[in-house]
Amino acid sequence: MVNQERIISEFIELVKVDSETRYEQEISELLKAKFTELGLSIEEDDAQAKTGHGANNLFAFLEGTGEAGAPTILFTSHMDTVAPGNGIKPQIDSDGYIRSDGTTILGSDDKAGLAAMLESIRVLKENHIPHGPIQFVITVGEESGLLGARNMDASKLKASFGYAIDSNGSIGDMAVAAPTQAKIIMKLHGKSAHAGVNPEDGISAIQVASKAISRMPLGRIDKETTANIGSFEGGGATNVVCDFVKLVAEARSIVQEKLDRQVEAMRKALESAAEEFGARAEFESQLIYPAYVHDDNSPVVELAKSAAAAIGLTPRTFHSGGGSDANIFNGLGVPTVNLAVGYEHIHTTKEQIKVVDLVKITEFVIEIIKQAAKG
């Protein structure tokens, strides 16, 4: 039922539209036109004003055609890409992969999800497939730390449960759990002095920070928890004892209590080192997005597994180490699982996706819709 030539053509059209995160205005207008042409109603929120990005989040709604009482199901993808994502020149290679010319990303993250949505709607209409109400939510700023979803107008959500089309892995894989993340800013204030004349009168913020980091549990803490120092900023001339350092870090865990313990351990390491050397410490931690966990028997997972098996896929559930818009939807009370799209080497100029996977993910979405309509 999926028209392979058509979905390839539409995918290529989408990736050719520049939409690096913060600059989503052009792709937003194109998507609004496409969904409207397909007969869906479109709403927007005010995410643009809240985030400074180029567009708002889009909410497209397809009325149900099946029996009354079918649940409203959600599908979500994001419209922005990482850089370098301008001037993408997609090409279909002889091995069945679609790639860029190697100077940019491809943008299959997540325009493959968008293409699957649009082709699914066409297939439903052309084949008169009964379905329940469907809401498609297209976010801005996913690549900027889920900024669009985090600033979404939740009152516009109508779905009982849903699926993000935005995970790594083979078609049929689904992320049923993903961690919460804390963004951590640490600052150390030492005391400057001449490094050659009277270094003993100074307090090196670099030395204190190094001691603090050595005391922090970092990397893989356990199977559900990680932590990392992303940047270490401070210092200047070698003849001055450095009096200020800023550390930017993160901690993640699927279990909130474990995240709390990890953040507290990093705080204590910073403060103990500062006290030891007579420096002053500042510690700030902000929860960026919530965790979610679905067991394999939960309805949203069972439906996806059943749909995958029905079209010959091998369903596989896994716990992701990264966050996605699915975290936000779960946090807003819409049980959501993240479906693998099949893209490879995302966020690099080697990004690629198989033509057959564009077809497979669309077939998967259609089968989920069909089975959801049966209740």
> What's the predicted TM-score (pTM) here?
0.93
Contacts of 293 (CB under 8 A, 6+ apart): 176, 177, 254, 319
From first to last of the 375 residues of the chain, give the pLDDT tens digit. 999 999 999 999 999 999 999 999 999 999 999 999 999 999 999 999 999 999 999 999 999 997 788 999 999 999 999 999 999 999 999 999 999 999 999 999 999 999 999 999 999 999 999 999 999 999 999 999 999 999 999 999 999 999 999 999 999 999 999 999 999 999 999 999 999 999 999 999 999 999 999 999 999 999 999 999 999 999 999 999 999 999 999 999 999 999 999 999 999 999 999 999 999 999 999 999 999 999 999 999 999 999 999 999 999 999 999 999 999 999 999 999 999 999 999 999 999 999 999 999 999 999 999 999 987
Nearest C-alpha neighbor of 150 from the set 356, 349, 331:
331
Which positions are catalytic? 80, 142
Residue that the structure tokens 């190094």 belong to: 210
Residue that the structure tokens 């929860």 belong to: 287
Cα–Cα dist 207/184, whole Å = 20
Q: Which two tokens stand for residue 353?
A: 């996706």
Q: What is the DSSP letter of 71?
A: P
- For the chain, strand residue ranges (E) read 41-44, 58-62, 73-78, 91-92, 97-99, 134-139, 161-167, 173-178, 180-189, 219-222, 225-234, 244-253, 280-289, 292-293, 316-319, 336-340, 352-354
Question: Distance from first CA to last CA of the chain, Å, rounded?
Answer: 23
Q: Which two tokens stand for residue 289?
A: 């997005």
Is the omega angle on the peptide bond into residue 110 within 30 degrees of 0, that is, cis?
yes
Q: How many residues does this entry show for the chain? A: 375
Supply angle C-alpha 215, 219, 220, rounded to 5. 120
Cα–Cα dist 254/246, whole Å = 27
Report yes or no: 11 and 111 within 8 Å, Cβ to Cβ.
Answer: yes
Cα–Cα dist 125/192, whole Å = 71
- List, in order of start, the domains of the chain with CATH numbers: 4-178+291-373 (3.40.630.10), 180-289 (3.30.70.360)
CA trace torsion 110, 115, 120, 123 (10° rounding): -170
Q: What is the DSSP letter of 143?
A: G
H-only helix segments in 131-204: 147-150
